[in-house]
Structure 1
Amino acid sequence: MHLLGIFLSQAFIIVAYAQTSLIIRDYFVYKKVTRVVGFSCGDVEDDFLTMKLLTDAGMSTAIKPAGFQINVLRYLDTTRTLGVFLDMRCPNQNVSGIFDDASAYRMFDYSYNWLILGSNMSRSLQSLNDSVFSIVTDFAILLPDPKSGYVLYDVYNHCKMRGGILNVTRLGTWREDNGLAIILTDSKIIRRRDYHGLRAKSAGIVLHRPPHMSLVDYLEGEGLEVMDNWPKFGYTLLSHVSDIFNFTMDLIEINHWEKNDSNGPLMSTLKRDEADLGYYPSILRIERYGDARVIFPQWPTRTCFMFRTIPAMKMKPWIILKPFAADTWYMIVVIVVITVLILSFILKLEHVSEYGYSISALITVGALCQQGFPSITDQSASRIALIQITVFGLLVFNYYSAAIVSARLNEPLHKMNDSLYSLAHSKMQLAAEKNIFFDFLLRNQRPDVQYFKHVWNAIPESKRFIPIEDGVEKIKGGDFAFHADPDDVYPSIEQAFDRQMICQLTEVHLLQPSELGLWSNLKSHFHEISKIALLKISTSGLRRREIRRRSARRPYCPNDEIFVSSVTIYEAAPILFLLLFGMIISLIIFGIEQLVFYTMHSKRVRGIKNHMKNETKDKTLSKDKSTLIPPKASNLFRKILMTRR
């Protein structure tokens, strides 16, 4: 009888192990994995049967016996989904060591499907290390059941570090006649989404919260007159995430940035596991990926230097020639020369007493400039020529005037290129809004940023940062560039600027348009659910609504309106200089004529006096004629007087 009992027990064990191999195969076939590794009790025949069944099902398999020293990281490392089974029924199986190593290397995520073969629930749960279990953990315990054959239990923990408890749910059954029957067919996220009010820590940078207002009330505030739009946006989205998965956020407020902190205080907080999530959207940088994980890029942002593009305060000497192209001016000069020659020829044929090239040129230029001309003949040919000159001058004058007026109305603003090089070379005064991330932006290794950084460092420390109100006033005055987040500065600009100033507003980006990301710590149990929820929030339109709610409207520039500005002295200077040049030339010519006339007149007078003296000495004059002037001298004086008149 004793031998029969031993035989029956051995037969039962053999049958049980054969059934276990079938269960392992059926479970991993259900999970659709292609690779399976296992920790067995070391029975060669049983291991061979398990490997044969798994291989026939199309899965590559590796099995390590109990007591065998193994590198868990190397054995379970994978880049694809991996099935892992562990037999806890073995007396010498180092179960706790395997679980501890798997926890240290975070092997309870999407990549691993665990199947634990146990004898009873209490012993199986005692050996677990669920410190890194999360909502995505795929961990099943198989226990024998007298009624159902075998029962599978689904085991997970939302977040043990934040007070989560281990959840054990009946997953399905296995019978020899029916095979595997899974009860929980919904996805893990759907059936585990209730976190039962679990408290998660969320950190963010908040700079402008009033002392009398609580952090939650401030982050839920509506007004754009206060800043911190970035953390308000991030808090709103994470609030939706917490509502979807029923957990509570404990907020951490950060209001300073250490000078030597290269990645920012939020990244340091996440790296130290002091917070699970960050509600402050942060710039995506490679250097930060070692401190935290990006959940999703969410907040579109940019920062820029803003200034007014004002018409150039420089004299343009050739502006009076701009209305006509060069070839047009050439043709006008050619026509004027031809007109002068033809008019001179006509006046000569008509025997006009005062004809000549100078008179013809004066008449032509006077008609061209709409100044009129003298009527020096009543002949038909010359009058037809004068009418032709007048019409030609009228057309040229009107085209010239129309070109100037059109240019004034349609003159485009030649705005600066969106280039930090151009801004650095402009020699404008520079300042920035005092915010926490400005120095971080200057650490960007882009060549234009590093070039501009030298210009910025040359500014005295006391003049680098000014309040937004002062910055807007200085922008309004011109020749000043102010750096700020557009969402912070646009409301002030819209109130302080008129429409023409708004249309003159120019922006040069320091942070190019991009999307800031919401981050979680590297070991966060809330990373996956946040990613899923934020994707749902984005596709449903909630994210777009929050962006519109938290973003400032760009000041409207009515492009269909025409802003006519006064003609500045710089634009009128070439015309004034031309007038002054003409006056100076006229005065010079007048002075030369007066000098020549005076010299000739003096010589003639001296000649007359000498002639009179000589005649007085040679003749004896009577008493009545002694005071008379000789006839020749008298005639000469008359000519001089007539000439002078």
Structure 2
Amino acid sequence: MFKLINKFNNLEISAAMPLLTMDFNVEKLKTSYWKIGIILDLRCQNKNFAGFMSETAGHYTYTNLYNWLILGESLDSVLPRLNDSTYSVVTDLVIATPILDGYVLHDVYNPSKYHGGSLNVTELGDWHRSSGLNITLTHSKFNRRANYHGMILRVLTVTQFKPNNTRLEDYLEDYSNKSIDLMSKFVYPLMQHLCDIFNFTMDLSTDFYWDEIAENGSHTGMMGMLNRGFADITGSPGAINQKRFPLGELVMPIWNFRTCFFFLSSPLRSTNELLQPFSTGSWYATGALTILIALILSISLAFEKIDHWIRQYGIALFSTICILCQQGSSVIPNFLTGRLVFLQLLFFSLLIFNYYSACIVSVRLNQPLDKINDSLNELAESNMDIAAERIVYYDYLLETSTDWEVQMLKEKRWSKMSDAKKYLPLEEGLKRITRGGFAYHCDPNRGYPLMEKLFTSEMICRLSEVHLYHPQGLGAWVGHHSPFREIARVGLAKINDMGLRKRQAIRWSARKPICVNVQQTVNSVTFTEIKAAIFLLLLGVMLSLIICLLENIIYNWNTKKRYERDN
């Protein structure tokens, strides 16, 4: 034995040979990150073997982190001394019994003693001093142990809408109402595939809750039953968080879950829509060209023998503005110079006016939506009313989430609402979305089918989402120290790699309504969008009144002066 330890040390493998006394602490063998090999020689005269084997079983030292080699006189002398209460398909235990010039090696495991499993002993190979090690059992561990021979696998699922007169199996296969108890219906075929792969017999049962805490502090529901050993694996995906880990062990995520607030985004209203077609530089250039053309036109009008220079420049300025605004002109030059200036002005105004009008129409047809970010805080600060479908995990998430945005929504909006306004039935909530100014929370897989029926194409294109529960995986769970954890992980990974999980996810998930822009629609012009034009109109009216008043004052003053001078 000392030579063996020296060989291990030479290979940089830590090795020790403790004495198996009554006070030997089995906790020294516990490991979480690396494998431990244990060599036990039952040929030694030690009465503590039975206690040691029982203690190692109680500390779960027969997982895939432990490799056992037990030396004995014969199989008949070794097998009765084993404690296989915590053996499973991942147990790596070899019994070596002597022959003439070597040892015969036997692979030993029990799929699950508490589920009616029996000890399986298979010849692994042999070792001879002359030829060395010869392994005849070459198949992988899981392939050669994959047949559970019809062992019962207790699957516990959650159903909240199952009729009493319907078999659980028939209800979970009902595709006509797939949005009800959707996640449980999705997992059921995966469990069927798992049982087919490893030859299990499924014992299916159901509960109403995922996890409920009773008055005495104990957990009920699916996770509570799993924790107390009444189920082997969950038939409904459960949330992956710290509060669930004391109740069971995660196998792997199998379902992508999310929930959202849905609402209709309004078209973005702009207060300077009349100025948007041109940039600031373009407006300055247009103004400068207008003044330049007016000056050139006024010079050309000098040949028209207009009686006063003020009238000459006034006619040029107002004619330029009228032509640019497509209002025509009351003055038509008689000379070629003036007519050429008028012709250039008409071409310039035609291009500017048509381009400006086309931009206005294009903006009206392609108005962007006034969307908010995928942020609960922005939703809480908006002026939209909110409500939610009454689902079990909504209040649970609001109470347990440490996300600051969830807490902001709860403090700013949800906690201030009365219970009567917090919850609405699914169809009523979606109908309120169509009226605008309302955000409704539900599971997309329940909401999408109804949206396709209730919403118009234009509403579907305006539909926006703000996640309360961002996309994340929900997992399959087994009990602590379950003998089925690794085999379930291998089976579900194989189901995933073969595409069966994705196929079921596509089959049971609801399709998001598709935005189809069949025709362009123009929304009504609001006061906010045309207030700049109204302001210009009122400014012009006020300026006209002021000028009219001044003209009347000047006219009356001149008339009075002329009258006094004549008299």
TM-score by length of 1: 0.78
The CA deviation string for residues 558-585 of structure 1, in whole angstroms up to 9 with x for no partner, is: 36x5522233333663366257516743
How far is 1:181 from its partner?
A: 4.6
Task: Please give the per-residue CA displacement for 1:168-219, whole angstroms capped at 9, x wherever unaligned.
Answer: 3344455666665544332222222111211122223222323332222122
Paired with 1:400 and 1:52, the residues of 2 have a C-alpha distance of: 92
1:92 matched residue in structure 2: 46
Distance 1:572 1:77, change over 3 A: closer
Structure-to-structure mapping, 1:159-558, within 5 angstroms: 159-173=112-126, 181-223=134-176, 225-256=178-209, 257-258=211-212, 265-312=221-268, 316-353=270-307, 355-375=311-331, 377-442=333-398, 443-455=400-412, 456-558=414-516
Letter in 1 for 2:259: T
Q: Secondary structure at the match of 1:306?
A: strand
- 1:224, 1:552 within 8 Å by CA — same for their partners in 2? no
* TM-superposition CA deviations, 1:419-464 (whole Å, max 9, x none): 2222122121111222221233332222222222213222222222
- Of 70-79 and 360-369, more deviation after overlay is shown by 70-79
Task: Tell me how far apart the structure 1 counterparts of residues 6 and 361 of structure 2 sit (CA, whole Å).
Answer: 93
| SS in structure 2 at match of 1:275 | coil
Task: Tell me the CA shift for residue 372 of structure 1.
Answer: 1.3
Deviations 1:227-284 (A, max 9, x none): 2222222222122111111112222322235378899944333322222211222232
The residue type paired with residue 503 of structure 1 is: C
- Aligned Cα root-mean-square deviation (Å): 3.4
Is 1:563 the counterpart of 2:510 in the alignment? no
Question: What is the deviation of 1:117?
Answer: 3.1
Q: 1:51 to 1:331 in 2, by over 3 A?
A: closer
Q: Distance in 1 between matches of 2:23 and 2:111?
A: 32
Distance 1:295 1:142, change over 3 A: same
Q: For 1:196 and 1:133, locate their aligned partners in 2 and report how far apart those are by CA, in whole Å.
A: 17
Counterpart AA for 2:384: M
Q: Are the equivalent residues in 1 in contact too, given 2:69–2:93 (CA < 8 A)?
A: yes
8 Å contact 1:263–1:288 — kept in the other structure? no
Percent of residue pairs identical: 37
Q: Compare 199-208 and 250-259 and name the one that shifted more.
A: 250-259
Q: Tell me what 1:623 maps to.
A: none
The whole-number CA distance in structure 1 between the counterparts of 2:360 and 2:441 is 37
Distance 2:468 2:219 in 1: 18
What whole-Å deviation, never above 9, does each CA across 1:54-110 have from its counterpart, x for those lacking one?
A: 667875532234545311121464743322232334443312211121112110111
In 2, distance between residues paired with 1:82 and 1:590? 102
Q: What amino acid is the match of 1:585?
A: M
CA distance in 1, matches of 2:503, 2:40: 49
Cα distance change of structure 1 residues 590 and 411 upon mapping to structure 2, 3 Å threshold: same
Distance 1:225 1:74, change over 3 A: closer
Kept in 2: contact 1:88–1:117 (CA 8 A): yes
Give the aligned partner of residue 588 of structure 1: 545
2-structure distance, mates of 1:179, 1:347: 119
Please give the alpha-carbon distance, in whole angstroms, between the structure 1 residues aligned to 2:29 and 2:304: 119
* CA–CA distance in structure 1, aligned partners of residues 334 and 74 of structure 2: 134
Uncovered stretches (5+) of structure 2, i.e. residues with no partner: none
- The alpha-carbon distance between structure 1 residues 397 and 51, as it changes in their structure 2 partners (threshold 3 A), is closer
Preserved contact between residue 323 and residue 346 of structure 2 (Cα < 8 Å): yes
3-state secondary structure, aligned to 2:249: strand
Q: Distance in 2 between matches of 1:76 and 1:451?
A: 45
Q: CA deviation at 1:370?
A: 0.9
Give the direction of change, closer, same or farther, for the CA distance of 1:393–1:262 in structure 2 (3 Å limit). Answer: farther
Distance 1:164 1:131 in 2: 10
User: Residue 102 of structure 1 aligns with which residue?
Assistant: 56
Mapping 1:32-47, distance limit 5 Å:
47=1
Q: Is contact 1:151-1:174 (8 Å) kept?
A: yes
Bigger mean CA offset, 224-233 vs 325-334: 224-233
CA distance in 1, matches of 2:220, 2:328: 78
Shift of residue 545, structure 1, vs aligned partner: 0.9
Report the Cα distance in structure 1 between the residues aligned to 2:288 and 2:5, rounded to whole angstroms: 103
Q: Aligned partners of 1:598, 1:359: CA distance in 2, in Å? A: 21
In structure 2, what is the equivalent of residue 127 of structure 1? 81
C-alpha separation in 2, matches of 1:336 and 1:601: 34
Change (3 A) 1:597 1:192: same
Distance in 2 between residues matched to 1:529 and 1:377, nearest whole Å: 98
- Gaps (5+ residues) in structure 1? 1-46, 612-631, 634-645
CA contact (8 A) 2:178 2:508 kept: no
Give, in whole Å, the separation in 1 of the partners of 2:200 and 2:61.
24
1:81 alignment counterpart: 35
State the AA in 2 paired with 1:373.
S
Contact 2:111 2:117 (8 Å CA) reproduced = yes
Q: Distance in 1 between matches of 2:556 and 2:532?
A: 36
Count of aligned residue pairs for this structure pair: 560
8 Å CA contact retained: 2:30, 2:59: no
Cα 1:358–1:528 shift into 2, 3 Å: same
Offset of residue 287 of structure 1 = 3.7
DSSP-derived class of the 1:288 partner: coil
- Residues 99-144 of structure 1 deviation map (CA, whole Å, 9 limit, x = unaligned): 1211121101112222333345555333332211111112233445
Equivalent residues of 1:66, 1:93 under 8 A apart: no
CA distance in 2, matches of 1:216, 1:184: 40
Task: State the distance in 2 between where 1:80 and 1:428 align.
Answer: 55
Worse overlay, 532-541 or 370-379: 370-379
What is the deviation of 1:51?
Answer: 4.4
Could you tell me whether the CA contact under 8 Å between 1:409 and 1:562 is conserved in 2?
Answer: no
Query: Could you say which structure has the greater relative contact order, defined with CA pairs below 8 angstroms and 6 or more residues apart?
Result: 2
Deviates more, 1:352-361 or 1:570-579: 570-579
Instruction: Tell me, in whole angstroms, the C-alpha distance in 2 between the residues paired with 1:346 and 1:52.
Output: 115
Aligned mates of 1:65, 1:293 — CA distance in 2: 35
Distance 1:381 1:587, change over 3 A: closer
- Matched residue SS, 1:116: strand
Name which of structure 1's ranges 321-330 and 222-231 shifts more when overlaid on structure 2.
Answer: 222-231
Judge conservation of contact 1:67–1:93 (CA < 8 Å) in 2: no
| d(CA) in 2 for partners of 1:540, 1:461 | 47
